[in-house]
Chains A and B, each alone.
Chain A
Amino acid sequence: MKKLMFIFVGLAVLFLSVPAYAHFQMLYTPEIALEKGGKLDFKIVWTHPFADEHTMEMTTPVAFYVLSQRGEGKVKKTDMKGKLKPITWTGKANSARAYEASVKVRSMGDHMFCFVPGPYYDKHEEAWMQQITKTIVNVGGIPGNWAEPAGLETEIVPLDKPYALWTGNVFRGVVLSKGKPVPNCDIEVEYINHDVLMDKNAFARSNYVEAPQDAFVTMTIKANANGEFSFGIPRAGWWGFAALGVGPEKEHKGEKFNADAVIWIKAVDMK
């Protein structure tokens, strides 16, 4: 009996000690600063991009579209929801439903891709989650609407071009909910710590870096009183920013609901 109790306590400790790494809605395409327009392949995965210890099952997406603008031209909205195809994404620990999309962008300028996933029920937190996500692609170096709000329920509006960052640059953004800045909110930052294997729908098993301690896996930073944040980028590659629970909706199906605002950036080494 005592033995059983011992095992039980041991198990409990084991479960409790599983670190709560940040969930991130990936909206990934290998290159976001393009010379010319062409086909873009997106992998849309609900995962923990640094540790890759659990891939979560996505539900049916709510929206996927792109807002394109060249210079001072008109902003053009193109619905891309019909391009979404379910796939099975393989992480280190498990496989789960994710999505992919193959889309074409032609025009020079900015192409702001917006993805609204279906709500996800997190048993551990006993709450619904939804990460409204933006990835901004540029063609040919002509800027467009990168610094404009997309008009999402909640979003991060960049103050630096997310596709034109050198390693060591600072990335700044403003967190908005219903178009208004969210003061003092928490923002989680994570690095995609593995090769993204586009043709295998999987992460590579090997990590780029090892974190010395859990606080380095998911870095939590704070917005200031104006809802602005900044982050110095220490390494080339993909970085995700998730402003937590900032969406205006707080309840879904009678339970707690957290809508996060996510944006992805890509830094490039100077060489």
Chain B
Amino acid sequence: MRKKIFIVGLLVFGLLMAGQAFAHTPLCSCYDNGDGTITCEGGFSDGSSAAGVEMRVLNSSGNVLIKGRMNEDSEFTFKKPDGSYKVEFDAGPGHVVEVPGSEITE
């Protein structure tokens, strides 16, 4: 009986902890450097760093053209693809931000 309560307690605790980790919102914004490259900046609404977050650049048919990670300054620079594209900032399930290439300007 005790053990059961303990397990339930542990589960509830785990759930609460997980909830806390999702209390912030992922944020990402990109701009055209005007030299054929694009820079994306990322972060979270609580100010925490996005260093190491996976970044993907996809073409209109959904194929990954470029894959990389946010650097220690939470920035990611890539060569601007030809044609239409979108950028994905992937900080895990429920934490993906999509930036359409058409919204990326100088």
Q: Which 4 A-B pairs have the closest CB atoms?
A: A142-B43, A71-B43, A143-B47, A71-B47
How distant is A269 from chain B, measured CB to nearest CB, in Å?
A: 22
Given contacts A106-B31, A144-B47, 6 further A-B contacts (CB under 8 A): A36-B29, A73-B73, A108-B43, A140-B27, A140-B41, A142-B43
**Which positions 39-62 of chain A face chain B at CB distance < 8 Å?**
none
Whether the Cβ atoms of B41 and A70 lie closer than 8 Å is: yes
A30 within 8 A of B: no
A173 within 8 A of B: no
Number of A-B contacts (CB under 8 A): 45
Q: How many residues of B contact A (CB 8 A)?
A: 15
Task: Write out, one digit per residue, whether chain B residues 44-55 have a CB within 8 A of any chain A CB (1) or not (0).
Answer: 111111100000
Whether the Cβ atoms of A108 and B25 lie closer than 8 Å is: no
With A70-B74, A73-B74: A143-B45 Cβ-Cβ less than 8 Å: yes
Footprint of A on B, CB under 8 Å?
25, 27, 29, 31, 41, 43-50, 73-74
Which residue in B46, B49, B50 is a CB contact (below 8 Å) of A143? B46
How distant is B103 from chain A, measured CB to nearest CB, in Å?
A: 9
User: How many residues of A sit at the interface, in one of the four size bands?
Assistant: 10 to 19
Residues of B near A106 (CB, < 8 A) are 31
A to B CB contacts below 8 Å, 29 in the list: A36-B31, A37-B31, A70-B41, A70-B43, A70-B74, A71-B44, A71-B47, A71-B48, A71-B74, A72-B48, A72-B49, A73-B49, A73-B73, A73-B74, A74-B73, A106-B31, A107-B41, A108-B41, A139-B29, A140-B27, A141-B25, A142-B27, A142-B41, A142-B43, A142-B44, A142-B47, A143-B45, A143-B46, A144-B47
The docked-state distance in angstroms from the alpha carbon of A37 to that of B29 is: 9
